[in-house]
C-alpha cells in the first residue's frame, strides 16, 4: 500500500466513525481503542483496527489468545488472522513478522499508530485440530454476528490489564446484546482484556426481553433464523429458575445479567453454552417445534447462571489473571464446574421446581454416564490439571457427572457434621463474603482454606474424592438423610438387551461397555472396539438398527461380530443370551429411617 492509499483509507475510516478516536475525559487516557467493521461481511472476516499512540519497546509483541477462561481447550486464535500490518502516523506500513501461531513481532513500535488485521470467523473456517467450540467462537452472516472477545481482539504485550474501548460498525437495523455498557461516544468499555473476553456480543436481527428479579436486571437477546424461538418466550420459561436462584443465593450478587441465544438450522456447527461473569451465550440448532427446547433451556440456563458465583465471586489467581499466551489450568475445576452443576439441580429441588425423586433420578443418570464413558481411576484433580491436554479432554465431561455427584456428597457431609445447620450452600455464601469479585483465593492452599472454614474431616474428603479417585461413599452419605443407595438392583425380569451395550469413544469408534459375564466368557471385554455386525460395517446411521436386530433374535440364535480386543482383530460367531434385567444406581427412601435421618433430610431439601 502506498502512502496516498493509506492516507485515503485513514481519511475514509475516520469520516465513517464521525468521532475523534480518543478516550473520554472520564475514562482512562491510556485505553486501547478498537474499531470493528461488521458492515463488510462478504469474506467472513472481522476487520479490526487498533488505535494506539503510546507503545514502548516492551509492547513489541502483539498477542492473540491461545485459550480463554472456562473453555479448558487450546484454541490458538492466531490461526484465523489474515492481513496483519501496522501503520505510522503518516499511513506508512511498518514491518511486522509472525513469530509464533499467536504472536506478531512489531518493529519501530514507538511510531505505531494503528494495527490493522482481518480475523476469520470460526464457525465457517475449517481447521485440522483444536477446533473452537461453537459457543466460544464467532459468526458473521448477513443478518447477524457473534463476537467472543478472544476470537476477535488481540493486544500488545504487557497491556492485558489496560482499559479497552471498542466501537462496532454495523447496520442501523441491527440490535446488539451484551453485558457491556456503552460510553457517551458510542464505544463499549471494558476495564481490561479479560473483561472483553468475558463479555460476548450478539448482534443482528434479534428479539429481546427483560425482567427485574429482586433488584437485578435480567436481559434476554435471541437470534432465531426462522423466528421459531423468541426472547420473551425464553424469559417466561426461565422465570421460575431465576426466582429459585435468587432464593438459593439470598439475592443475586450482580446488578445486571444478559442471556444471549443463537438458534440456527440443523446444520449449525454444534451446540452448547459458555458461562461468563455477567452473561452467558447459548448456541443450539433451531428446532422445528419449540416445546421440547423450552422445556430443556431452564436447566441449562441455571448452570450457566450460577457461574456468577463460581468463578466470578470465588476464584483463584489463575482465573483472575488468566494467561492468554500459555494458559495454566486450575486444580479447582471441581468448584467451578462440579459445584455449579450440583447447585443448578439442587436449587430446582429446593425451589419446588422438581421433586425429590426427580432430583435423585438426575443423580442416578450422572452416575450411569460417569461409569459408562469415563475412567473411574481418573481423579477430578487430574482432570482439572490436564484439562488442556488430549488426555484430559477425553475425561473432561466427567466434571459434570462425577464432579456434580461429588459436590452433592460434600453437601451431605457438611450437613451431617453440622447437625443440619450448614451445608455446601452456606459455605459458598460465606466464601462470597470473604472473597468476591476483586479478591482471589490462593490456588495451592484452597483445600486447606475450605477445611479451616468447616471441619477437619473435610480435608480427608478432598483427599479421597477430589485429589484421588476413591470410590464415592454414596451408600454411607445418603444414609445420613434416610435414603438407601444400591449400585445395582435385580428386577426379576428378563433383559431384552444383547448382553452388552455400545458407546462412542473420542475417535468415533464403537466400544463395548456393560458387558455381561456370559458375554465376557465368550471373549468380548469392556473397551473392545466393534467394527461390524453380521458383516455389515457400523456407522452412526445404522448402529441403532443393527443393535436392535440382535436384541430381537431368539435365545441361542447366532450372530457375527468383527471387533478388536487388545491388539487382535476377531471375526467370531456369538450366541444370543438371556440375563436378568437390572437397574443401576437406585435410590429409595428408607422405610425405617429414624428421626435424626428425617430431620437431616428435611434440612437438606430446603435452603437453610
**Phi and psi torsions of 107, nearest 5°:** -105, 160
The answer to whether the beta carbons of residues 188 and 31 sit under 8 Å apart is no
Query: Can you read off the three cell numbers belonging to residue 129?
Result: 485440530
Please report the domains of the chain, with CATH numbers, ordered by start residue.
3-203 (2.60.40.3650), 206-308 (1.10.390.10), 328-483+603-608 (1.10.390.10), 500-576 (2.30.42.10)
Residue with cell 442416578: 364
The helix/strand/coil state of 387 is: coil
The answer to whether the beta carbons of residues 455 and 330 sit under 8 Å apart is no
Cα→Cα distances 491→494, 551, 580, 586, Å: 8, 19, 7, 12
Angle formed at CA 54 by CA 50 and CA 59, multiple of 5 degrees: 80
pLDDT at 559 over 60: yes
CA nearest to 61, candidates 27, 109, 93, 19: 109
The string of pLDDT tens digits covering residues 262-280 is 998 755 556 789 988 899 9
Say what angle helices 424-434 and 446-453 make with each other, to 10 degrees.
110
- Return the minimum-mean-pLDDT range out of 305-314, 317-326, 489-498, 518-527: 489-498
Q: Which residues pair with 35 in a beta bridge?
A: 49, 167
The string of pLDDT tens digits covering residues 126-179 is 998 888 999 999 999 999 999 999 999 999 999 999 999 999 999 999 999 999
Using alpha carbons only, how large is the chain's radius of gyration in Å? 27
The string of pLDDT tens digits covering residues 294-316 is 777 888 888 888 888 888 889 89
**Phi and psi torsions of 283, nearest 5°:** -125, 115
**Neighbour tally for 116: CB within 10 Å:** 18
> DSSP secondary-structure letter at 521?
H
pTM value? 0.79
Query: Can you read off the three cell numbers belonging to residue 348?
Result: 430446582
Mean pLDDT computed over 255-261 = 95
CA nearest to 19, candidates 145, 166, 119, 153: 166
Amino acid at each position: 500500500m502506498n502512502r496516498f492509499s493509506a492516507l485515503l483509507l485513514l481519511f475514509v475510516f475516520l469520516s465513517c466513525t464521525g468521532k475523534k478516536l480518543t478516550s473520554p475525559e472520564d475514562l482512562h487516557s491510556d485505553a486501547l481503542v478498537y474499531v470493528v467493521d461488521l458492515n463488510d461481511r462478504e469474506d467472513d472476516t472481522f476487520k479490526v483496527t487498533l488505535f494506539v499512540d503510546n507503545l514502548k519497546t516492551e509492547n513489541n509483541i502483539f498477542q492473540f489468545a491461545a485459550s480463554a477462561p472456562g473453555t479448558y481447550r487450546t484454541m490458538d486464535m492466531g490461526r484465523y488472522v489474515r492481513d496483519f500490518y501496522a501503520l505510522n502516523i503518516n499511513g506508512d506500513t511498518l514491518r511486522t513478522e509472525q513469530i509464533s501461531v499467536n504472536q506478531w513481532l512489531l518493529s519501530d513500535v514507538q511510531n505505531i499508530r494503528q494495527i490493522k488485521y482481518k480475523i476469520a470467523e470460526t464457525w465457517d473456517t475449517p481447521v485440522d485440530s483444536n477446533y473452537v467450540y461453537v459457543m466460544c467462537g464467532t459468526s458473521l452472516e448477513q443478518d447477524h454476528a457473534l463476537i467472543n472477545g478472544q476470537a476477535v481482539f488481540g493486544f500488545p504485550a504487557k497491556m492485558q490489564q489496560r482499559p479497552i474501548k471498542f466501537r462496532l460498525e454495523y447496520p442501523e437495523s441491527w440490535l446488539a446484546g451484551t453485558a457491556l455498557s456503552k460510553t457517551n461516544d458510542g464505544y463499549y468499555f471494558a476495564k481490561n482484556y479479560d473483561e472483553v473476553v468475558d463479555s460476548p456480543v450478539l448482534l443482528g436481527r434479534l428479539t429481546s426481553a427483560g425482567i427485574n428479579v429482586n433488584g437485578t436486571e435480567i436481559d434476554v437477546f435471541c437470534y432465531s433464523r426462522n423466528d421459531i424461538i423468541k426472547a420473551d418466550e425464553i424469559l417466561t420459561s426461565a422465570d421460575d429458575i431465576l426466582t429459585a436462584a435468587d432464593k438459593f443465593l439470598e439475592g443475586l450478587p450482580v446488578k445486571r445479567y444478559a442471556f444471549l441465544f443463537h438458534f440456527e438450522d440443523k446444520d449449525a456447527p454444534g451446540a452448547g453454552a459458555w458461562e461468563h461473569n455477567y452473561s452467558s451465550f447459548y448456541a443450539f440448532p433451531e428446532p422445528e417445534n419449540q416445546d421440547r427446547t423450552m422445556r430443556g433451556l431452564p436447566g441449562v440456563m441455571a448452570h450457566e447462571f450460577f457461574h456468577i458465583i463460581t468463578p466470578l465471586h470465588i476464584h483463584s489467581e489463575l482465573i483472575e489473571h488468566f494467561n492468554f499466551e500459555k494458559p495454566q489450568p486450575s486444580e479447582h475445576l471441581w468448584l467451578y464446574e462440579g459445584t455449579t452443576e450440583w447447585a443448578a439441580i439442587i436449587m430446582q429441588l429446593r425451589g419446588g421446581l422438581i421433586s425429590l425423586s426427580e432430583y435423585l433420578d438426575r443423580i442416578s443418570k450422572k452416575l450411569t454416564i460417569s461409569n459408562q464413558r469415563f475412567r473411574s481411576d481418573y481423579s477430578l484433580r487430574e482432570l482439572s490439571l490436564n484439562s488442556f491436554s488430549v488426555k484430559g479432554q477425553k475425561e473432561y465431561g466427567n466434571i459434570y457427572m462425577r464432579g456434580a455427584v461429588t459436590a452433592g456428597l460434600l453437601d451431605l457431609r457438611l450437613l451431617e457434621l453440622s447437625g443440619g445447620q450448614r451445608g455446601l450452600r452456606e459455605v459458598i455464601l460465606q466464601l462470597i463474603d470473604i472473597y468476591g469479585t476483586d479478591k482471589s483465593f490462593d490456588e495451592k492452599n484452597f483445600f486447606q482454606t475450605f477445611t479451616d472454614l468447616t471441619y477437619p474431616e473435610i480435608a480427608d474428603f478432598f483427599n479421597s474424592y477430589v485429589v484421588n479417585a476413591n470410590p464415592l461413599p454414596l451408600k454411607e452419605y445418603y444414609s445420613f438423610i434416610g435414603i438407601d443407595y444400591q449400585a445395582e438392583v435385580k428386577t426379576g425380569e428378563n433383559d431384552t438387551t444383547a448382553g452388552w451395550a455400545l458407546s462412542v469413544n473420542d475417535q468415533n469408534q464403537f466400544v463395548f461397555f456393560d458387558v455381561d459375564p456370559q458375554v465376557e466368557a465368550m471373549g468380548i471385554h469392556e473397551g473392545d472396539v466393534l467394527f461390524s455386525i453380521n458383516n455389515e460395517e457400523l456407522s452412526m446411521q445404522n448402529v441403532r438398527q443393527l443393535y436392535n436386530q440382535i436384541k430381537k433374535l431368539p435365545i441361542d440364535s447366532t450372530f457375527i461380530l468383527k471387533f478388536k480386543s487388545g491388539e487382535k482383530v476377531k471375526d467370531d460367531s456369538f450366541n444370543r443370551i438371556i440375563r436378568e434385567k437390572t437397574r443401576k444406581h437406585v435410590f429409595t427412601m428408607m422405610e425405617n429411617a429414624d428421626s435424626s435421618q428425617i430431620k437431616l433430610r428435611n434440612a437438606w431439601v430446603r435452603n437453610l
